[in-house]
Amino acid sequence: MQPTDLLLEVQDITVSFDGFKAIQNLSLKVEKGSLRVLIGPNGAGKSTLLDTIIGKVRPASGDVRYLGQSITRLPEYRVANLGICRKFQAPGVLDGLSVRENLLVACKRSKGVFASFKRGASASEAGRVEELLSLTGLHEKAEMLASLLAHGEKQWLEIGMVVASDPHLLLLDEPTAGMTAQETAKTAELIRSLVGRHTVLVIDHDMAFVELLDAPITVLHQGQVFREGDLQTLRSDADVMEIYLGR
Ligand code: ADP
Ligand code: MG
């Protein structure tokens, strides 16, 4: 990897909660425009790693670098302004608005608080909303109230709302939780379509989903990087099977 291809570099971070090390001397590099999958057993430190990247949790030591600059001490809003966005597991969709209106609000919000008070969509906003409807596969549901969407559809809408701000780095924590196999497959397709324009880091433990993502995998265990590789290599690694699948 050339230094110029590097988007995110986590350097030797340790995160402690009251003396308990949730992350220990963890390092990770993510290339611009790439897709990376993070897996690991419950409590491995996956969500804490994302919290540290977005500035919600401060590491006791180590550095998080973004485009060559340290962002370790920046407040959360400054990290977000740099184009690093995390989609939380809890949906942030406005139930009383239609799918189209939700996407429009997200487009306006990305341009600042005051823009969201202007009514109606400008031509460029309307165009962007159309793009997001296509991206999320929600064209046919555009006028439906968000509260009436199926679980999977709501998740896609939420991904669309995060993408509306055109983040450079998108962090997704278990985006397929509670989804059917069909919804999971569609989510993998949606995420793959983001790669290139965006850099995406996905946490999940659904192996069928991870297989569909077809991307390099980092295995975390007890707050450390345990292995890196593709799914096929990891599946034939007895130690990974032991810690990850418990067999
Ligand atoms: P994962 O997402 O891989 O399941 P987490 O990052 O949520 O794991 O948690 C890693 C470890 O840190 C777990 O043992 C968890 O209990 C602990 N932990 C996470 N957040 C906190 C917190 N705010 N306070 C204390 N312990 C925490
Ligand atoms: Mg987690």
In the reported structure, the alpha carbon of residue 169 is separated from the centroid of ligand 2 by a whole-number distance in angstroms of: 18
Q: Among 13, 14, 17, which is best to mutate for testing ligand 1, by the most ligand atoms less than 8 A from CB?
A: 17
Q: List C-alpha distances in Å: 91 to 57, 98, 119.
A: 21, 15, 24
Type of residue numbered 216: P
Q: 61 has which bridge partners? A: 14
Whole-prediction pTM value? 0.92
The CATH number fitting domain 3-93+149-245, selected from 3.40.630.30, 3.40.50.300, 3.90.650.10, 3.30.70.141: 3.40.50.300
Whether the per-residue pLDDT at 89 is higher than 90: the answer is no
pLDDT at 195: 96
Which residue, 131, 47, 141, 134, is CA-closest to 99? 141
The pLDDT tens digits of the residues spanning 62-72 come to 999 999 999 99
CA distance linking residue 205 with residue 223, whole number of Å: 16
The pLDDT tens digits of the residues spanning 195-235 come to 999 999 999 988 899 999 999 999 999 999 999 999 999 99
Whether the per-residue pLDDT at 106 is higher than 50: the answer is yes
CA distance linking residue 44 with residue 139, whole number of Å: 38
pLDDT at 112: 65
CB-based contacts of 236, cutoff 8 Å, min separation 6: none
What confidence category does residue 2 fall into, taking pLDDT thresholds of 50, 70 and 90? low
Residue 52 CB–ligand 1 contact under 6 Å = no
The pLDDT tens digits of the residues spanning 182-196 come to 999 999 999 999 999
Q: Which atom of ligand 1 is nearest to the CA of 42?
A: 4
What confidence category does residue 88 fall into, taking pLDDT thresholds of 50, 70 and 90? low
Residue 218 CB–ligand 1 contact under 6 Å = no
